[in-house]
Structure 1
Amino acid sequence: MKSILLVCNEGMSTGFLCNKMNAVAKEKGLDVRAWAIPESALEGRYQEADVILVGPQIGYLTASIQQRVNHSLPVEAINPVHFGRINADAILERALALMGAPLR
């Protein structure tokens, strides 16, 4: 199973997006799990992920997060337009591409 970790300020704004991403993955028959945490909880949890997507509201922390995870997995800020529109398809596709497992 591929694991997509979404990180934001408090883990709440990404919660709805995670639910939608998980629904899209299930609909497409993908073995993927998206989950969200606040940025402050990163250290104890990032090892469970295959990729980290950073909420656009804290996108400025992307480089810092890459350092905190020792560059051990891909880290990228979520496209703000996709985030604002809750475009779970596009965000899921990008996460899979970062892992080298494109949706299409």
Structure 2
Amino acid sequence: MKKIVLLCASGMSTSMLVKKMQEAAAAADYECSIDAFSATDAATKANDADCILLGPQIRFQKNKIAEQVPGVPVDAIDMRMYGRMDGKAALEFARKLMND
């Protein structure tokens, strides 16, 4: 089972997108775990993730976070996708990032 982690400034705003992504995963019959945390927890909460998605507001931290979790693909969620809380598109983005 794949582990997808979303990171943002506090872990709060991405929690809404997590719910939408979980609904999209259930609809697609795709087994995965999806959680949201603060970017400050990257090294401890996301070190075993299959991919990490960053909230647009912390996209500037991409390289720093990638250094904290070697071997884990990290990328920022598109601002429009995030603003629309498009769980299906975010899940597809995560799957592409994982080559899944």
The worse-fitting range, judged by mean Cα deviation, of 6-15 and 42-51 is: 42-51
Aligned residue type for 2:85: I
Map 1:10-29 to 2 at 5 A. 10-29=10-29
Which consecutive unaligned segments of at least 5 residues does structure 1 have? none
Aligned to 2:76: 77
Pick 1 or 2: higher relative contact order, CA cutoff 8 A, min separation 6. 2
- Separation in 2 of the partners of 1:22 and 1:93? 12
SS of 2:82's equivalent?
helix
TM-score using structure 1 length: 0.92
What secondary structure does 1:44 align onto? helix
Cα-Cα RMSD: 0.8
What is the distance in 2 between the residues matched to 1:82 and 1:27? 19
% same residue:
36
User: Which secondary structure does the structure 2 equivalent of 1:34 belong to?
Assistant: strand
Deviations 1:57-97 (A, max 9, x none): 01100111111112x11000000000000011111001001
C-alpha displacement of 1:46: 1.3
> 1:36 is matched with which residue?
36
Distance in 2, matches of 1:54 and 1:34, equals 13
CA distance, structure 1, for counterparts of residue 89 and residue 44 of structure 2? 28
**2:89 paired with 1:90:** yes
- Deviation of 1:38 after TM superposition, in Å, equals 0.2
